[in-house]
Amino acid sequence: MIEFFNRLFGREPSSRTAKERLKLVLLSDHLSLAPDVVEALKHDLLEVISRYVEVDAANVDVSFEQREKQIAMLANIPILGMQKRPSPPPASTNGSSKRRKAAANGQAVPRRRRRKRQPLPPAPQPQLVQSLAQPT
Amino acid sequence: MINEVVQDEVPATGTVRRPRGRAIVVTSGKGGVGKTTTTANIGTALAVLGNTVVMVDADVGLRNLDIVLGLEARVRHHVLDVLEGKSTIEDALVSDKRVPKLRLLAAAQTREKDDVDTAAFRDLIGSLRDRFDFVLIDCPAGIEKGFVNAIAGADEAIVVCTPEVSAVRDADRVVGLLGDDRTVQLIVNRLRPALVRKGKMLSVEDVNDILHLPLLGVIAEAPDVIVSTNRGQPVALDPASEVGEAYRTIARRITGQDTAAPEIPREKTLFGKLFGGRS
């Protein structure tokens, strides 16, 4: 009955608000607690973008921002110019040293985040690069 | 006289070849959610079921397990005395007149958590596992040294969480720190079914939608717990108490004697019965 009135007046139960807030904050917590995952994401992101444009890798900034109802990933990637030819993606050397470091110091070992590496996508299509080069 | 009787219940070191006991840490991250009460009651209930149980208070500097159990006047030595060779394990174990198979190893009150060496504490838990069926470790709040020590020797963990955003967030953090190698189970503590029905409190389902842990049990908020703590009489010893029964059920689930899914407490009022406890 109370729920009915709440719905009537467009007010959601506080337990639902609590759950939604928790989901958001935990997503944010997990991202900030997994710097290796964020690094890997950044690495892969650059890898893909670099196939099409030349980026200023030293000044890349990837961050996460908690908003009212969602978490947004903000990537600021300075572009130096167009890529003349698509270059093959370099081999990944990203490893998780956080667990080993923590274990060596006798600290609590952070939980291993399951991360599956996707196989690298097929070679980029030259036509796509051309079409991107066209000013819109 | 009682002490002599009691001593027969728990075999001394090395006298009996037996399978290693289970070391279970009771933890939560957040303080004040009921870790100590949970440890005291589960330990008591396990001992009443016939298991030999030792409870270890890992909250060095803020020792409370002894007073919740009503054993505060019997503590002579503590964990650090044992670790520093000032006392034998036998001398430091406090027995409980009411529950012959139960022992308590109290924390040091005047020392700090940083005084405890993690490896030494892990070894102590290991040697207790050789003597007892269950070693229950009452973990301090926080995720610093005290937490690291408390979980070091445990291969199982019980995460206690109340249906509050802060407790759930901290529980999630602690689950991450417990790692993948430990069995982790959840107890939702201090649930208020009436508030859940009104949508004013996270339900057990809400909490576990976020934590995704096997549910060991649910304890409703009840005056029995406050009264029993005042008296130093674990509510698990009260045959008339519903919460006491909930703890006894949890103990049976831990030993595998009870395999039914944990019951979610319902409202007791007539209104609650008529309109159901779901929301």
Of A9-23, A47-61, B137-151, which has the strongest mean pLDDT? B137-151
Nearest by CB to residue B169, choosing from A14, A15, A26, is A26
Share of chain B above pLDDT 70, in %: 90
Q: B43: number of CA atoms within 13 Å, CB side?
A: 37
Mean pLDDT, range B32-55, rounded to an integer: 98
Pick the range with the lowest mean pLDDT from A77-91, A118-132, B47-61, B108-122.
A118-132
Asked if residue B40 lies in contact with residue B228, where contact means CB atoms within 8 angstroms, the answer is no
Percent of chain A with pLDDT over 90: 29
ipTM: 0.79
Report d(CA B260, CA B268) in Å as an integer. Answer: 22
Identity of residue B214: P
Task: Kindly state the helix (H) or strand (E) to which residue B156 belongs, with its residue range.
Answer: strand B156-161
Rounded mean pLDDT of A66-74?
85
pLDDT digits (tens, 9 = 90+) for A118-133: 554 554 444 333 334 3
Mean pLDDT, rounded, for B185-211? 97
> Is the confidence at residue A135, as pLDDT, over 90?
no
Q: Which residues of A touch B202 (CB under 8 A)?
A: 15, 18-19
How confident is the prediction for chain B on average, in pLDDT? 92
Cβ contact (<8 Å) for A19 and B119? Answer: no
Q: Round to whole Å and give the CA distance between B113 and A6.
A: 48
End-to-end CA distance of chain B: 55
% pLDDT > 70, chain A: 55
Structure tokens at B258: 């009870």
Q: What is the mean pLDDT of residues B225-239?
A: 96
- C-alpha dihedral, A74 to A116 to B214 to B199, nearest 10°: 30
Q: Is residue B1 within 8 angstroms of chain A, CB to CB?
A: no
Q: Please tell me the distance from the alpha carbon of residue B128 to that of residue A54, in angstroms, as a whole number.
A: 62
Among chain A residues, the shortest Cα distance to B276 is held by A1
| Alpha carbon of residue A102 to chain centroid | 24
**Residue with structure tokens 């070693």?**
B135
Interval B136-153: pLDDT, tens:
999 999 999 999 999 999
Domain B19-275 fold is Rossmann fold (3.40.50)
- Rounded to the nearest 5 degrees, what angle is found at the Cα of B262, between the Cα atoms of B258 and B263? 120
A115 — pLDDT class (breaks 50, 70, 90) = very low
Model confidence at B66: pLDDT above 60: yes
How far does the CA of residue B200 sit from the closest CA of chain A (Å)? 5
Summarised one tens digit per residue, pLDDT across range B260-278 is 999 999 987 665 455 544 3
Helix residue ranges per DSSP H, B158-222: 165-178, 193-197, 204-211
pLDDT of residue A8: 61
Which residue in chain A is spatially nearest to B207 when comparing CA positions? A19
Question: Largest Cα–Cα distance of chain A, in whole Å?
Answer: 67
Picking from B262, B168, B30, B170, the residue whose alpha carbon sits closest to that of residue A15 is: B168
pLDDT of B9 reads 58
pLDDT beyond 60 at B13: no
Nearest residue of A to residue B181, measured between CA atoms = A111
Of A65-79, A101-115, B189-203, highest mean pLDDT: B189-203
- For residue A123, what pLDDT is reported? 46
What confidence score (pLDDT) does residue B268 get?
74
Q: Does B67 touch chain A (CB under 8 A)?
A: no
β A79-82/A53-55 pair status: antiparallel
Query: How far is B122 from chain A, CA to nearest CA, in Å?
Result: 12
Structural domain spans, chain B: 19-275
Model pLDDT, residue B6: 47
% pLDDT > 90, chain B: 88
- Give B-chain residues touching A16 at CB under 8 angstroms: 199
Least confident of A22-36, A39-53, B18-32, B262-276: B262-276
Confidence at residue B249, expressed as pLDDT on a 0 to 100 scale = 98
pLDDT, mean of residues B191-217? 97
Q: What is the mean pLDDT of residues B61-89?
A: 96
How much is the average pLDDT of B201-225?
97
The pLDDT-based confidence of B166 (bands split at 50, 70, 90) is very high
Confidence of residue B5 (pLDDT cuts 50, 70, 90): very low
Inter-chain touch B210–A16, beta carbons under 8 Å: no
